[in-house]
Amino acid sequence: PCAGPVESKNEAAMSELVPEPRQKPVVPMKPMGINASLLGYIGIDTIIEQMRKKTMKTGFDFNIMVVGQSGLGKSTLVNTLFKSQVSRKSSGWNREEKIPKTVEIKAIGHVIEEGGVKMKLTVIDTPGFGDQINNENCWEPIEKYINEQYEKFLKEEVNIARKKRIPDTRVHCCLYFISPTGHSLRPLDLEFMKHLSKVVNIIPVIAKADTMTLEEKTEFKQRVRKELEVNGIEFYPQKEFDEDLEDKTENDKIRQESMPFAVVGSDKEYQVNGKRVLGRKTPWGIIEVENLNHCEFALLRDFVIRTHLQDLKEVTHNIHYETYRAKRLNDNGGLPPMTVETEENHESNL
């Protein structure tokens, strides 16, 4: 009679120990090969439209620097490129201004809108470059300016409270103007490009190409290409940054045929065969800026704006800025540079 309660106790203990039967996990079905006809339209391709809408809302920055002796038509060419008064004249500078004793850097910002897309364009001019009797090291202020913009971007990037969109003042493209001598590059040209090609995308341009005959122009272009190659000067688009065979084929053609672009700039309109054209009037006729038989301006415009603008920005960010950033962090023992806020706190603690 006393065994009953003991057994019932044991049974209760056993029932506590025996786990409840678990449900079998659902085995996932084997993934089937995607059958487009079965699934129909997915909509992956709309990402392009989404990106386009976002870019149209926010706009984008593009910063172009022009370097060369005065009188080569740098400002006129930039105005012609962007079909508006984006250089010098619009900022109230005049031709009577004295040549600066040293290189000055003048940056002018504009917002250009086309087809609903906004571009914040900054033109960086370098009056005084190459205009002195002694031009030794005259590229240094330009190199300093370019590096200062990288530093500014880096400091914004390492801030604890980062801006959602860091203002981009980095120089994406440097148009280097070569005098149309028809002979060879000056030592100054070579020195500038040798130093600066490591920190910025340089596009060499032969200015005022209408001062040379067709034969002189072809010969001069070949000579300039040869001199750049002999001196180991890399200009944009650099061979090592070609991403695939299509890029290589396209860029090889530009490197071997178009570079340096022999251009003529003009912001004056003339009537030619019933059409309004941008051109330069000479005693023997009108030189049409956008006519490929007259000059290579249209090639330069298509190259900088219509085919390679995004790549210029990417090479600036992924190559030139990254090189600067790595060196800066390395020099600082792997630590980010002190931001303005940190410097102020540091000083107040002393």
pLDDT at 223: 94
The residue among 204, 192, 208, 73 whose CA lies nearest residue 129 is 192
User: 59: phi > 0 → left, psi -120 to 50 → alpha, else beta; which?
Assistant: left
**pLDDT tier, 43 (very low <50, low <70, confident <90, very high otherwise):** confident
Q: Does the structure show a pLDDT above 50 at 335?
A: yes
Do 144 and 104 touch, CB atoms closer than 8 A? no
Q: What DSSP state is assigned to residue 168?
A: -
Task: Tell me the longest C-alpha to C-alpha distance in the chain.
Answer: 134
Question: Strands, E, within the chain: which ranges?
Answer: 60-67, 106-114, 117-125, 173-178, 202-206, 261-262, 269-272, 275-282, 285-288
In terms of residues, how long is the chain? Answer: 350
CA 322 to chain centre: 13
Q: Does the structure show a pLDDT above 90 at 134?
A: no
Which residues are bridge partners to 242 per DSSP? Answer: none
Cβ count near 294 (within 10 Å)? 19
The residue among 231, 292, 305 whose CA lies nearest residue 262 is 292
Is 282 inside a domain boundary? no
Is 103 inside a domain boundary? yes
Q: Does the structure show a pLDDT above 60 at 236?
A: yes
- Per-residue pLDDT tens over the stretch 97-121: 566 767 889 898 888 888 888 889 9
Is 73 inside a domain boundary? yes
Q: Does the structure show a pLDDT above 50 at 240?
A: yes
Is 43 inside a domain boundary? no
- Per-residue pLDDT tens over the stretch 136-193: 888 999 999 999 999 999 999 888 888 888 899 999 999 999 999 878 899 999 999 9
Q: Does the structure show a pLDDT above 50 at 91?
A: no
What separation in angstroms does the CA of 55 have from each of 49, 119, 131, 303?
10, 10, 41, 21
Task: Determine the structural domain holding residue 69 and report its residue range.
Answer: 58-88+99-266+295-332
- Calculate the average pLDDT of the chain: 82
- If one counts the domains in the chain, the total is 1
CA 171 to chain centre: 7
**pLDDT tier, 10 (very low <50, low <70, confident <90, very high otherwise):** low
- Per-residue pLDDT tens over the stretch 63-89: 999 999 888 888 888 888 887 766 654
* CATH at residue 122: 3.40.50.300
Do 226 and 255 touch, CB atoms closer than 8 A? no
Is 344 inside a domain boundary? no
Is 173 inside a domain boundary? yes
312: enclosing H helix or E strand: helix 309-315
**pLDDT tier, 5 (very low <50, low <70, confident <90, very high otherwise):** low
Token pair for residue 186?
Answer: 């000056």
Is 175 inside a domain boundary? yes
What distance in Å separates the CA atoms of residue 143 and residue 200, rounded to the nearest whole number?
A: 9
Choice among 8-22, 141-155, 202-216 with the minimum mean pLDDT: 8-22
Output 135 or 230, whichever has higher pLDDT. 230
DSSP characters for 113-132?
A: EETTEEEEEEEEE-TTTT-S
Q: Does the structure show a pLDDT above 70 at 37?
A: no
pLDDT at 90: 43
Is 226 inside a domain boundary? yes
What distance in Å separates the CA atoms of residue 252 and residue 168, rounded to the nearest whole number?
A: 30
The residue among 235, 251, 254 whose CA lies nearest residue 243 is 251
Backbone angles phi, psi at 256, to 5 degrees: -90, -20
pLDDT at 328: 92
What distance in Å separates the CA atoms of residue 325 and residue 331, rounded to the nearest whole number?
A: 10
Residues in contact with 77: Cβ distance below 8 Å, sequence separation at least 6, in sequence order: 66, 175, 177, 205, 207, 263, 265, 297
